[in-house]
Amino acid sequence: MRKQEDQSQNGFKSILKSYRKYRLKKYGTILSEILAYYGDLSDIHGKRILELGPGRHLNLLRFFKNETNAKIVFGVGKSFIWPWMKSEYRSLVHDSYILNFLKSQGSKKYDLIYSRYVMEEHSIDPIILLRSKIYWRYLKENRLANPDRYFPSSIPNMQAIFAEAYKHLSPGGILISEIAKMKNSALDDAFLEAFHWRSLKKRKIGRLSQVVSGVKR
């Protein structure tokens, strides 16, 4: 296990060096996790990859799109993508609430679904939230203190997203979630253990953060 982790760390470092232009450092934890499963970039060949909440820079999506032979690469989430981002990259993201999007996916399956700093309370961009009708409706109905699964970035919303993402994993598919603040995480032990994993790993990063990764049976 230790050896595998060292290898994926080394693999990540050499990718970081060879592909500087994508500024992948902040996705280091996720990339090392991915490499711990896939070995190296050639194993990504033919894979269907989905990022939840890629934000505005699209670092890892652009990297996968340009530098691997993945079959499908795209993201879904609400964010303000930089206006100067090339349209070929902008089109990598579906501008949608994640839960709505996943529910519209029918029987589509993905081999790898990952997210960074999404599966936790309050991860939605606050300006997007303040501009949404749903926020004002919940405020008016006095439901902000106890939001349900339809309120973006609430714990029930994130748990519904995770469960839906799990449904859209192929057998042997990998689900990776990096959490910025464990105290806000939607992925508590009891919740995670309710799924049928072939394997499930939780790793602490520093004092505050964590990465959770599971392989579907």
Q: What residue ranges bind ligand SAM (CB under 6 A)?
A: 53-55, 77-79, 97-98, 116-118, 123-125, 128, 152-153, 157
Nearer to ligand SAM, 77 or 173 (CB): 77
Nearer to ligand SAM, 152 or 173 (CB): 152
The DSSP result for 149-206, as a single string, is TTSTTSHHHHHHHHHHHHHTEEEEEEEEEEES-GGGBS--HHHHHTS-EEEEEEEEET
**Separation of alpha carbons 54 and 93, rounded Å:** 8
CB of 202 to ligand SAM, least distance (A): 19
Paired tokens of 162:
């995770």
CB of 26 to ligand SAM, least distance (A): 6
The total of other beta-carbon atoms located within 10 Å of residue 190's CB is: 6
Placement of tokens 């589509």 in the chain: 108
Nearer to ligand SAM, 53 or 173 (CB): 53
Nearer to ligand SAM, 53 or 214 (CB): 53
Nearer to ligand SAM, 32 or 79 (CB): 79
Specify whether the CB–CB gap between 134 and 157 falls below 8 A: no
The total of other beta-carbon atoms located within 10 Å of residue 82's CB is: 12
Nearer to ligand SAM, 39 or 143 (CB): 143
- The helix or strand, by DSSP H or E, that contains position 103, with its residue range, turns out to be helix 98-103
Placement of tokens 């997210």 in the chain: 115
CB of 150 to ligand SAM, least distance (A): 10
**Separation of alpha carbons 144 and 138, rounded Å:** 6
- Please choose, from the candidates 84, 95, 13, 17, the residue with its C-alpha nearest in 3D space to the C-alpha of residue 54: 95
CB of 154 to ligand SAM, least distance (A): 9
Nearer to ligand SAM, 126 or 171 (CB): 126
CB of 57 to ligand SAM, least distance (A): 6
CB of 201 to ligand SAM, least distance (A): 20
CB of 48 to ligand SAM, least distance (A): 19
